[in-house]
């Protein structure tokens, strides 16, 4: 029996601060008609323009996935997209009153909770799937990443990450069925290395970052002056490095939380295909640029 499309039962909202812009805004999820897909509507812009969450609208992947149409942008949508895919929501209209989705706790957990409060309802139309019929490979030699999708009877994802790090070991994560996403992957937070923080700030990013929405790994010994400077950036009296090389005593939700978060990001970016995939995905060192280029490769190879 074919699977049906789904939307949400009623409108629900969530508010917070954007990770990179620092903008405080609200997302409101509305039920949508069958076959309409996932759309963002910028209600703070004259005419309330709509941007379809499709890979052809990706315009930037600097530490997040940004979509745009006619220069109207929506930043950092990957955690939202992953939550929708994880709950098998096909059709939703998302009002946003600023440029960037709120980072919340750095995962998809809160979005999942809000969407479940609304309720997920079946629609009287069959869900469309993209059944992979050949092996498709994307590689980025400079970064060393490789993403593959190949024919299979269902959807699964294997992810491996390797940062050549002393504190963040080689990690793997495996999703065998989309039903695992809510409990095993949605709670997994974004992460960054301490040495990247000032660089990101210099690039005008992470204006909305704090120690509650990201795991910070400290690779090398840092001075008290460096710690004080970072504490000031995050409006804290002081920060410190604790066991496992994690800043400010954050506790990992899973031993391999970074790898699980990379799988979350990949799932969110793959949702930009516009339909769920039936196939086995294997990813080594995925990232937003590679993820979205991989999706474009799938579109091209599958003649979508």
Catalytically active residues are: 288
CA 274 – CA 28 distance, rounded (Å):
20
Sign of the torsion formed by the C-alpha atoms of 48, 119, 26 and 86: negative
Are 13 and 27 in contact by the 8 Å Cβ rule? The answer is: yes
Q: How far apart are CA 304 and CA 302, in angstroms?
A: 6
Cα 181 → chain centroid: 13
Q: For the chain, how many residues are written?
A: 304
In angstroms, the CA 100 to CA 81 distance is: 13
CB 84 within 8 A of CB 12: no
Q: What are phi and psi of 15, to 5 degrees?
A: -125, 155
* CA 240 – CA 247 distance, rounded (Å): 6
Phi and psi torsions of 113, nearest 5°? -60, -45
Contacts of 64 (CB under 8 A, 6+ apart): 19, 20, 75, 76, 77, 78, 288
Tokens 């960054």 — which residue?
192
Give Cβ neighbours of residue 285 (< 8 Å, ≥ 6 apart).
143, 144, 145, 146, 160, 161, 162
What's the DSSP call for residue 75? B
Token pair of 115, please?
Answer: 């969407």
Each residue of 190-213: b (16+ CB within 10 Å) or e? bbbbbeebeebeeeebbebbbbeb
In whole angstroms, give the CA distance from residue 142 to residue 256.
25
């Amino acid at each position: 029996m074919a699977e049906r499309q789904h939307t949400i039962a009623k409108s629900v909202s969530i508010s917070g601060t954007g990770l990179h812009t620092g903008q405080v805004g609200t997302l409101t999820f509305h039920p949508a008609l069958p076959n309409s897909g996932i759309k963002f509507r910028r209600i703070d812009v004259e005419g309330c323009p709509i941007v379809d969450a499709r890979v052809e609208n990706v315009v930037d992947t600097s530490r997040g996935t940004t979509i745009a149409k006619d220069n109207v942008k929506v930043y950092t949508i990957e955690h939202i997209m992953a939550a929708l895919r994880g709950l098998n929501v096909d059709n939703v209209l998302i009002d946003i009153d600023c440029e960037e989705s709120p980072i919340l706790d750095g995962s998809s957990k809160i979005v999942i909770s809000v969407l479940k409060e609304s309720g997920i309802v079946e629609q009287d139309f069959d869900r469309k799937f993209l059944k992979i019929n050949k092996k498709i490979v994307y590689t980025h030699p400079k970064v060393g990443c490789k993403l593959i999708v190949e024919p299979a009877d269902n959807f699964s994802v294997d992810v491996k990450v390797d940062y050549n790090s002393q504190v963040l070991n080689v990690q793997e994560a495996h999703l065998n069925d989309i039903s695992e996403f809510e409990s095993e992957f949605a709670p997994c937070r974004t992460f960054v290395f301490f040495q990247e923080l000032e660089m990101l700030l210099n690039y005008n990013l992470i204006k909305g970052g704090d120690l509650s929405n990201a795991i910070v790994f400290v690779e090398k010994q840092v001075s008290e002056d460096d710690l004080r400077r970072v504490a000031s950036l995050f409006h804290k009296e002081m920060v410190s490095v604790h066991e496992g090389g994690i800043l400010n005593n954050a506790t990992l939700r899973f031993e391999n939380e970074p790898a699980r978060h990379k799988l979350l990001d990949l799932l969110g970016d793959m949702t930009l295909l516009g339909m769920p995939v039936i196939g086995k995905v294997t990813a080594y060192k995925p990232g937003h640029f590679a993820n979205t280029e991989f999706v474009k490769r799938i579109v091209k190879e599958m003649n979508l």
